[in-house]
Structure 1
Amino acid sequence: MEQNNNLWSLIEQRLEASPDSTAFIEGGRAITVAQFHAQCSQALAWLQAQGVRRGDRVAVWLVNRTEWLALLFALARLGAVLVSVNTRYRSDEVSHILGKSGARLLVCQPGFRKIDFADILRGIATDALPALEGIVVVDAGDYTAGTLLGRPIARFPALDGVTSADSALAADSSDPGEAVILFTTSGTTKGPKLVMHPQRTLVDHARRCARAYGLDQPDAVMLAMLPFCGVFGLNGVLAAFAAGAPAVLMDAFDGEAAADLAQRHRVTHTFGSDEMYQRIAEAVKGEQPFPAARFFGFGAFTSSFGEYARRAWSRGIPLVGLYGSSEVLALFSGQPLELPLDARLEGGGRPVAAPLAQVRVRDTESGELLPPGRSGELEIRAPSNFLGYFNDPQATADVVLPDGFFRTGDLGHLRDDGTFVYEARMGDAIRLGGFLVNPVEIEAVLKRFDSVVDAQVVAIEIEGRMRVVAFVVPSPGNVPVEADLIAQIAGQTASFKVPARIWFVDRYPVTQSSNGVKTQRNKLRDMAIERLA
């Protein structure tokens, strides 16, 4: 079958190759390709019955489940747009996304663990969402209300997975170049922007990832433990589906449960945050806990993971650094397995779309493009680049250059072998003594001391110039003296990297994004300013 870049083509290819093969494992139940095709067809018929048309936006606020994916494929076939809503969002964020996207329908569930979706919605003013016509509830029960936010509540049908004939479906006339999904950025000081991607980037990227990461190899099995509402989670499960590898779905992440599923299903591949892998590694004992493992890719969202990752490799857990973003898609690149261990554990790597994908580095002060080894802002032009920010041409123009390169806002450098290294967000990088310094360098020095469990470094203005300050989690029962620790650091690093102050804390402020837990350095800066004041 000739390949095309409509999402539905991924189903058609799987149907032609092996309709009875396992597409997903959900709640211990295997769902075949034919059954998933039937689910997507049922979702498509239901959306049509609701009057959803080409160009309509439908917000999906669900945990990981096959209904999420079925809605994506069905909306794509209609030429409509899925608005992805993070299940960790609350009233202000949900209201912002629904309002900004102009979503016509919202699909959610009554609740999940400690999340009461209906109660969160009640915190939104009824007149704040003029475009929203109705709310759709999956798993609606006898006590589900008839209205919410002054809108009628419809019940999403149970997708039974009974196979149906493809001949009943109208031809797929959707445009693979039009937006099919809106992802949210992880903004902290402003409402999140909505990142537009068309079907062609999702499909093309899924196929490239399938090959690049070996998901198309015999007996590959993927553990989908990241939320589908973010690019990291969705790109991984689409890559597995495109490759023909079964995907084991987790509705929400738990370290012990993830370790159990990986062992029970002989998982070969998974993708997650560094914090997730730390919890998985702590949940299992002994050597070689995952004998089937081939590629466990991770995004580096904290600075304290290096030692964990090296210990993981010594136990046969093959952790490999990745790079991606909502704008260029996750799994954009991964470090080659033939590199030395420390290089494998850095973010970045080789783009899956190489040589079509181009990465360059620009000096933020002079504007010149930099050679390998010198740090600056990463700029990317690739087949997976986004269409722009929805209804925000100014924000798009601010980050997309005239030659099509996307300004990532990330600090990094090129290697001589054509790969690249992600170092930090530009907002986290520190200009000290005329040099652009990655705070991880200073944190690594601090963590050499036995009295330090973890360290986070930020820069603030002290007496008219930028100075480094540090927040340290001390070893239990071994809290160092601030002046002594500063003196020890001074003997091991350049003077402009020595912290002016060190504060000892139990934990750091973090945010729960769709891609994992991230340390909030902006809040650390605020804490430092308050403490000095």
Structure 2
Amino acid sequence: MSAKEFSLQSLIGTPAGNPAFVFDGAPISCAEFSGKVDQAAAWLVAQGIGKGDVVAVWLVNRIEWVALLFAAARCGAVVAAVNTRYRSAEVAHLLRVSGARLMVVEAAFRSIDFAAILADVAKDEVPALQKLAVVGADALSAQWPCVRFDAFDRPYPPAPPAQDDVDLPVLLYTTSGTTKGPKLVAHSQRTLATHAASVATALKLSPQRHSLLAMLPFCGTFGMTSLLAFIAAGATIHGLDAFEAAPALKILGEHGITHTFGSDEMFRRILALTDAPRPFPHLEVCGFAAFQPGWRELAAEAEARGMPLYGLYGSSEVQALFSIGRSSDAFADRIEGGGWPMSPDAKVRVRDVESGELAVNGFSGEIEISAPSRFLGYFNNPDATREAITADGFFRTGDIGRLRGDGAFVYETRAGDAMRLGGFLVAPGEIEDELKSCTGVADAQVVAVDLKGQARCVAFVIPAGEPPRQEALVARLRERLAGYKVPARIYVVDAFPVTDSANGVKIQRARLRTMAMERIASE
């Protein structure tokens, strides 16, 4: 195959009569999108951006975002995706680590004050940043020179011919982060385009039959991967600038959407807005990530109402939609995280975290992945890259799961969340599900702590009405679970500590562990 076949440009087809995108009700054809990519590439060159230069993109979902990524690929430049939820310290960290020379930024969006956030970024924190390009205004900050992003408004001299090195970095995602700030995950045109084509093929996407509601942010791999897969398929993409349940419900109902992807909470909010027994007759696949308690109950309700949820797996390093459940799976298997790899060339194995040996089918351990979708490495961080990749090229995911034995696998929990209790590796969800089945418990979270030199689990529960008694819950769990899985303490709380991420609201399990130790110490 030629390099061109692995480029982002190769994903753009010309399906007759099909708009490539619909944003805010306005259709954009494939030819129009290709024109916008040309215009954005010419604009980037006019701003002095060339091969290897990094452009930070701090935008909500809009056609400018997509055009800038494809244009950067044309120019050999790199896009650093900035989460619109980020605030000053996070923006400064990304700009500093990426070395971005230019940042394209929103003038304003709903309650986000981009100017105020930038005002808290010291210029000497981000020495590489030379100027801002503002979408929707002429200026945003007094600290850096500003230009208006006017690529679509006036002509610029055409960009040089496209770069043909498809193995250079083209897109940087941020990881979920550590106390030192997130690493930047680098992908090339080859890894992005190859995986997009694999997803389109595995899902059997047809430009005539299928369409996507893109309600996840393009700054994350979950939103970007689904977007690129439908571009590769030539199927229409209806985009939301940012997720809101009401417009999502409207588009799903009015445009015969067949596919959409999101968090469990997003689907829960959509379903809550309609009383219709089966409001989405055209939906075929709703891929979901389970971030909240109660996701199994949600999946059952959604199934009964014609919203078929499919568990999946992915990460910034191997891209989202790495794998997904199949319609031929039993329902309980189909909704589990994990599933069947999209690429026929992907390999998944599981390593025993105690012995370091490869695990047999059904045994839990760390998931390791080799696939064409695997990242190039952590941008400008070779030490972290070496630690993450095995000698034979598998990515150490840091996730715990097991092989099913039929070609699929099950994701169970993050390695940091898995609990070693009584000598066994235990996923918190197993205990949480039992707690949620108890009378008086609405939601539950379980974490492991060191209690007098022994690993024990502690539970936090949100009551449903009258708070349940700890003694009654412990007695119930002792009937249902092995003794080492029964929590040493069960605390009633009004809510769990959470963090907003690009893809949904996630429980702060580290904060729960701290809360558990503080409460035990106070006793």
TM-score surpassing 0.5?
Answer: yes
Give the 5 Å matches for 1:41-60: 41-60=38-57
Deviation of residue 169 (structure 1)? 5.6
The C-alpha deviation readout for 1:141-174, integer Å capped at 9, x for no partner, is 5xx45x532x201110062699x9xx96643223
Deviation of residue 489 (structure 1)? 1.3
Indicate conservation of the 8 Å contact 2:40/2:151, yes or no: no
2:457 matched to 1:468? yes
Which residue number in structure 2 is paired with residue 374 of structure 1? 363
Q: Within 1, Cα distance between the matches of 2:43 and 2:320? A: 31
Equivalent residue of 1:407, what SS?
Answer: strand
For these two proteins, the number of residue pairs brought into alignment is 520
Equivalent residue of 1:115, what SS?
Answer: coil
Equivalent residue of 1:112, what SS?
Answer: coil
Q: Within 1, Cα distance between the matches of 2:101 and 2:123? A: 14
2:77 matched to 1:80? yes
Alignment RMSD (CA, Å): 1.7
Give the 5 Å matches for 1:299-310: 299-310=289-300
Equivalent residue of 1:111, what SS?
Answer: coil
Equivalent residue of 1:284, what SS?
Answer: coil
Give the 5 Å matches for 1:280-319: 280-319=270-309
Indicate conservation of the 8 Å contact 2:18/2:235, yes or no: no
Which residue number in structure 1 is paired with residue 60 of structure 2? 63
Q: State the TM-score, normalizing by the size of structure 1.
A: 0.95
Which residue number in structure 2 is paired with residue 27 of structure 1? 24
Deviation of residue 278 (structure 1)? 1.2
Which residue number in structure 2 is paired with residue 40 of structure 1? 37
Deviation of residue 188 (structure 1)? 4.1
Which residue number in structure 2 is paired with residue 223 of structure 1? 213
Amino acid at match of 2:462: V
Deviation of residue 463 (structure 1)? 1.5
Which residue number in structure 2 is paired with residue 408 of structure 1? 397
Q: State the TM-score, normalizing by the size of structure 2.
A: 0.97
Indicate conservation of the 8 Å contact 2:347/2:371, yes or no: yes
Deviation of residue 55 (structure 1)? 0.3
Q: Within 1, Cα distance between the matches of 2:355 and 2:483? A: 25
Indicate conservation of the 8 Å contact 1:215/1:269, yes or no: no
Equivalent residue of 1:30, what SS?
Answer: strand
Equivalent residue of 1:253, what SS?
Answer: coil
Q: Within 2, Cα distance between the matches of 1:232 and 1:261? A: 20
Deviation of residue 189 (structure 1)? 2.5
Amino acid at match of 1:514: A
Q: Within 2, Cα distance between the matches of 1:174 and 1:222? A: 30
2:182 matched to 1:192? yes
Indicate conservation of the 8 Å contact 1:39/1:161, yes or no: no
Amino acid at match of 1:434: G
Which residue number in structure 2 is paired with residue 258 of structure 1? 248
Q: Within 1, Cα distance between the matches of 2:374 and 2:154? A: 34
Give the 5 Å matches for 1:6-405: 6-11=7-12, 14-15=13-14, 17-18=15-16, 21-140=18-137, 144-145=139-140, 147-149=141-143, 151-157=144-150, 159=152, 170-216=160-206, 218-354=208-344, 356-405=345-394
Give the 5 Å matches for 1:429-444: 429-444=418-433
Indicate conservation of the 8 Å contact 2:18/2:207, yes or no: no
Equivalent residue of 1:148, what SS?
Answer: coil
Amino acid at match of 2:461: V
Deviation of residue 190 (structure 1)? 2.6
Equivalent residue of 2:5, what SS?
Answer: coil
Q: Within 2, Cα distance between the matches of 1:305 and 1:484? A: 25
Amino acid at match of 1:491: E
Q: Within 2, Cα distance between the matches of 1:47 and 1:187? A: 30
Equivalent residue of 2:124, what SS?
Answer: coil
Which residue number in structure 1 is paired with residue 447 of structure 2? 458
Q: Within 2, Cα distance between the matches of 1:105 and 1:168? A: 20
The C-alpha deviation readout for 1:98-135, integer Å capped at 9, x for no partner, is 00110000110111111011110100112111111101
Q: Within 2, Cα distance between the matches of 1:438 and 1:466? A: 14
Q: Within 1, Cα distance between the matches of 2:153 and 2:304? A: 44
Q: Within 2, Cα distance between the matches of 1:302 and 1:358? A: 29
Judged with a 3 Å threshold, the aligned counterparts in structure 2 of structure 1 residues 106 and 496 are, in CA distance, closer, same or farther, namely same
Q: Within 1, Cα distance between the matches of 2:153 and 2:347? A: 44
Deviation of residue 89 (structure 1)? 0.5
Q: Within 2, Cα distance between the matches of 1:434 and 1:21? A: 57
Which residue number in structure 2 is paired with residue 503 of structure 1? 491
Indicate conservation of the 8 Å contact 1:38/1:161, yes or no: no
The C-alpha deviation readout for 1:399-422, integer Å capped at 9, x for no partner, is 100100000000000012110000
Equivalent residue of 1:271, what SS?
Answer: strand
Deviation of residue 213 (structure 1)? 1.7
Equivalent residue of 1:518, what SS?
Answer: strand
Q: Within 2, Cα distance between the matches of 1:169 and 1:195? A: 27
Equivalent residue of 2:312, what SS?
Answer: strand
Which residue number in structure 2 is paired with residue 515 of structure 1? 503
The C-alpha deviation readout for 1:482-515, integer Å capped at 9, x for no partner, is 2221122112111101111111112111111122
Which residue number in structure 1 is paired with residue 515 of structure 2? 527
Indicate conservation of the 8 Å contact 2:245/2:266, yes or no: yes
Equivalent residue of 2:145, what SS?
Answer: strand
The C-alpha deviation readout for 1:179-231, integer Å capped at 9, x for no partner, is 00110001142300000000011111111111212322632110000000000
Percent of pairs identical after alignment? Answer: 53
Equivalent residue of 1:416, what SS?
Answer: coil
Deviation of residue 286 (structure 1)? 2.1
Q: Within 2, Cα distance between the matches of 1:299 and 1:479? A: 29
Find runs of 4+ consecutive structure 1 residues off by over 3 angstroms: 167-170
Which segments of 5 or more consecutive residues in structure 2 lack a partner in the other structure? none
Amino acid at match of 1:290: F
Q: Within 2, Cα distance between the matches of 1:335 and 1:130? A: 46
Amino acid at match of 2:11: L
